[in-house]
Structure 1
Amino acid sequence: MVTGAHDSATRLAPVRLRDVPGPHRPVGSITRGTTNPNRLRRCDRWLAGPQSGRLRRSTTPPIVVDLGYGASPVTAVELHERLRRVRPDVQVVGIEIDPERVAAARPLERAGLSFRRGGFEVPLGDGRRPTVVRAFNVLRQYDEAEVAGAWAQLRTRLAPGGLIVDGTCDEVGRRAAWVAVDEAGPVSLTISLRLRGLGRPSDVAERLPKALIHRNVPGEPIHAFLTDLDDAWARSAPHAGWGARQRFLAAAADIAGRWPLADGPSRWRLGEMTVAWDAVAPVS
């Protein structure tokens, strides 16, 4: 099911999660996959910040997979550059289902950065398991009903204490949202916004991950969360005189008593907010 894309695209020869691949056949389908430099910087910053302990705790060089990196390997290169500041021996592996994309990326390989062909089976070889699998703008292109199966398959590949990041962002990375999934299941939803020029926080709705994007309707928890955040943003308008950052900080503090936020001002000031999954999960 790996799309090999960091963008919305037309599916080519789709393969369903229920299909059983041959012994050497990647689990997934090839799609168009354009991307841009710095597009995933918000997620990278979160992995190198609140999630850095997962890398530091590993007793062996941690493996981080950029799953479905697309036509350009730039996001995998950037991920390696950012995470090695946290853990110099980190191993970043870009995985793509299109062999031509893998071949094009191979000249960029270096110590700690490699590329290989594969899909949701995450073929690392030698029994190796990733500490983090980042899959951005991948499941967005498939049916909502397939998400749980994709998460379940990826969870079987994780190292102990590992994490899957299933996210979506706009073309230049100014609006992003991602679900964190650990060995037991989904844990949290994070939204990350460029605050300058922000109309309202719910502008991120069109970039919600596939598990939630069709659930932003009355009666669903994610709709209630974004509505409450918009209302708090409106009430915080007097803080705009000190800048959008102060306004967002005030809005986040406003809803913190009503929603189980997993972070605080140090992340809010970045336009980032993480809420427990149970609070925003689909009702059915």
Structure 2
Amino acid sequence: MSTAPPAPDMDRAQLVEVAAADLPRLVPLFAPDHPNLAFARAVIDGAIPGRAWAQFHNGAPVACLVATTAPFCLAAGALTPAFFAEAKRLLAGHGEVQLVHPPGPDNGAWAERAGFTTGQRLHFTHPRDGYIAPPPAVPDGYELVRIDADTFSGLESPMARSIFGTDTAQYIAHAVGFALVQDGRVAADAHGVLGGGLNELGTHIHPDHRRKGLAFVVLGAVNHWGCERGLRSVITCHEDKTPSISLARKLGLTEEFSYSIAKATC
């Protein structure tokens, strides 16, 4: 990962909210291999709802906090003990937080000092450029559909709602999703968070349709769609989440690296 800029004042983070028009100024703080980069870029691009705060030095951003409406929040730049303390304060009321941050010899200790606990996640992606995932086979009794405005507006998917909210027009303009439908009802849905040339995959299976292999089908559809458009598919999960690891590998993705997160309920 890229080297962060020189650290500013260790005693004061001074994070200020960044207006929507100024969000593109944060892009250089995120290296191409920053974990969950698609989420950060999607907020910056206005593709998913979120907020951002930054610390400035001589008029340039040197550190930032990007919060999505999902648990994923992302830190980048020159982090300090004060940064983590202020991030915890700014995220009050967010609920579950998984703060993704770049590696650093002291970042974990600083996060714990601010009231976070540490954890590890795994990052899976395609092993080579130009990879085209095959389209999935649709099981009998189900119909595979591209999620449109009507489907999204009636979607009962906590995962999708936490990431994309309820703005149907924003979803249709900036995201992609596929669903398996049976008897007019969504049995499984999968979506891609699009940003920075990446397609980060996530899925939700209705409780009545679990353990039928449907996650592989809907994720495979989003994976295939992204590959055909030159996007690199990504799946991330906690290091001990065996079903997600197996699913990522079944989709043709391989583990690229592990990374640290700071967890809290804010």
Q: TM-score, normalised by structure 2?
A: 0.32
Greater relative CO (CA pairs within 8 A, separation 6+): 2
User: Which structure features the higher share of helix residues?
Assistant: 1
Please, what TM-score do these two structures have when normalized by structure 1? Answer: 0.30
